[in-house]
Structure 1
Amino acid sequence: MRFSCLLTLLGSVLLTGCSSLMQPVDNQAVQAAPQDRAQVVFMRSAFSGRGIDASLYDVTAGTTQFVGILSNDTRIAYPAAAGHRVFMVVSEAADFMEADLVAGKTYYAMITPRIGMWKARFSMWPVARDPKAEYSFQSKDFNDWIGDTKLVTNSPKSLNWFEKNKFSVEAKRVEYWPVWQKKSPADLELRTLKTADGQ
C-alpha cells in the first residue's frame, strides 16, 4: 500500500513533455530588472533528461510560490524580492539553491539533470562571476545558454497544473529540505547566488 502511494506521489509531480503548459514570451530579450525587485533567470539547456520537465518554486521562509515549468531549451525570468531567497526545483526529488539578491539586478541560474531512481532529477546552479565556478559568466558557453533557450512564462494551463499538485510539491519540500540543511558550508557556498553575481 505504501509503495503504491509513493508511485502516486511521484507521478503527480513528474512532468513528461509538458512544455506546452507554458507559453512563449513575445519579446525574447531579457529585460532589465525592476528597480524595486531583483530578477532571476532560470535556464535549462542539456542533452540528457530532455524528456522530463522540472517545476520551479520560491520557497523562502517556508512558503511555496510557483515560478513555472522549465523544459529543455527554455528559460524563465522571475522577479523576486531582494534579500535572502531560497529556490526549489522538483522532479523525482527536490533540490534547492539559495540566493542573496539586490534590487535592480538580474541574476542567472542553470537547471541541470542528474540520474534518479526512475527518472531524471535536477539540480540548481548559480551562474557566478567567478571564472572557476561550475557555471560562470566568463564561460564561452554563456551566450549559447541565452541564445539556445526560449523565454517562457506561465499560462492558465501551468497555473492549473500547480493548483492540482500543491500537495505533492509541498511533500517534496518537507522531505528534501532537511537533506539540504545537512550540506556542508562549502557545498552551500557553491550553490548560492551571491550579491555580486547580479548584473
Structure 2
Amino acid sequence: MRVLIIAVICMLSLGACQSQHMQAIDKSNLNLTVDDHSALIEFMRPESYGSRFQSSIFNITNGTPELVGILSAQNRFIIKLPAGSYRFAVIGENADFLDAELDDGKLYAASITTHIGFMRMQYKLHAVKNSSLEAFNQQCPSCIWTKPLPSAKEWADANMPSIRSKISKYLPKWINNPSRAIINPSDNLAP
C-alpha cells in the first residue's frame, strides 16, 4: 500500500500544472475569424517536459512588454492582431525572441520548447514554417486551449523589472544571430 501511495504522489507531481493566470477554454469559444486587416498567431507548448513551470509570452514590438499569454506544458492560445510586423519574447530563466510579419487574413504559429536552465527552465521560440494546420495540430492533439485571466496582467506588472532585465540582457545577442526565429508572410498555416 505504501508503494502505491508513493507512486501516486510521484505521478501527480509529474503532471501538468496549469498556470493560475490562464483559463482553459473550449475551442468552440475561440474567435478564429480574421478580416482584411487582421491575422491570427497561435502559440503552442507541445511538450510535457517541464510541466511544473510556465513560460510567459510578451509582445515587445513597441519596446514596452505586453503580456499576451502564459503557457504551461501541453497548452496553447491564439491571439488576433492587426496585420504588420511584430516581435515576441518568451521569458523563463532566459529570454528568447521571434519576429513575425503577419499578412491580412492569415493564421500563423509558433511553438515553444523547454530546456533545463541553471535555476529554472529556459525556453526557445520557434517559427512554424511550411506546415499545414492539421500537421501543426498533430504536434499536440491533447493540448489545452487557454486564455489569460485578468490576474495575468497583474502578475506581469508585478514582475516587470525582471522581465525587462531579461529582455535587455538577451535581445542584443538574439538580434546578432543570423539564424534567429522569423515568421515570414508566406509562413502561414495552410488549411
Equivalent pair of 1:43/1:145 in contact (CA under 8 Å): no
Contact 1:115 1:121 in 2 (8 A): yes
Sort the Cα spacing of 1:143 and 1:18 in 2 relative to 1 into closer, same or farther, 3 A.
closer
Q: Give SS of 2:139's match.
A: helix
CA RMSD of aligned residues (A): 2.2
Q: Which residue number in structure 1 is paired with residue 152 of structure 2? A: 158
What is the CA-CA distance between 1:152 and the residue it aligns to?
A: 0.7
Secondary structure class of the residue paired with 1:147: coil
Distance in 2 (CA, whole Å) between partners of 1:34 and 1:165 is 34
Identity of aligned residues (%): 29
Q: Any idea what SS the aligned residue of 2:88 has?
A: strand
User: How far off is 1:30 after superposition?
Assistant: 6.9
**Structure 1 regions of 5+ residues with no counterpart?**
1-15, 130-135
- State the shift of 1:145 in Å: 3.0
Question: Considering only CA atoms, is the larger Rg found in Structure 1 or Structure 2?
Answer: 2
The size of the alignment, in residue pairs, is 173
What is the CA distance between 1:17 and its match in structure 2?
4.1
Decide which of 109, 127, 132 is 1:137's aligned counterpart.
132
State the alpha-carbon separation in 1 of the partners of residues 49 and 110 from structure 2.
Answer: 18
Provide the rounded CA distance (Å) in 1 between the counterparts of 2:40 and 2:137.
18
Q: Deviations over 1:53-103 (max 9, x none)?
A: 100001113221110111011111112232221110000010001111112
Normalization by structure 1: what TM-score? 0.78
Counterpart amino acid of residue 109 in structure 1 = A
After the TM superposition, list the runs of 4 or more consecutive aligned residues in structure 1 that deviate by more than 6 angstroms: none
Q: Give the superposition deviation at 1:25.
A: 2.3
In structure 2, how many angstroms separate the alpha carbons of the residues matched to 1:141 and 1:114? Answer: 24
Query: How far does residue 47 in structure 1 lie from its aligned partner after superposition?
Result: 3.2
| CA distance 1:34–1:146, shift in 2 (3 Å) | farther
| 1:28 Cα offset (Å) | 5.7
Aligned twin of 1:147: 141
Task: Give, in angstroms, the shift of residue 41 of structure 1.
Answer: 0.2
Distance 1:28 1:123 in 2: 28
Q: Distance in 2 between matches of 1:197 and 1:30?
A: 21
Aligned partner of residue 52 in structure 1, secondary structure = coil
Give the alignment's TM-score, normalised by structure 2: 0.82
Q: Distance in 2 between matches of 1:146 and 1:37?
A: 26
Counterpart Cα distance in 2 of 1:158 and 1:18: 13
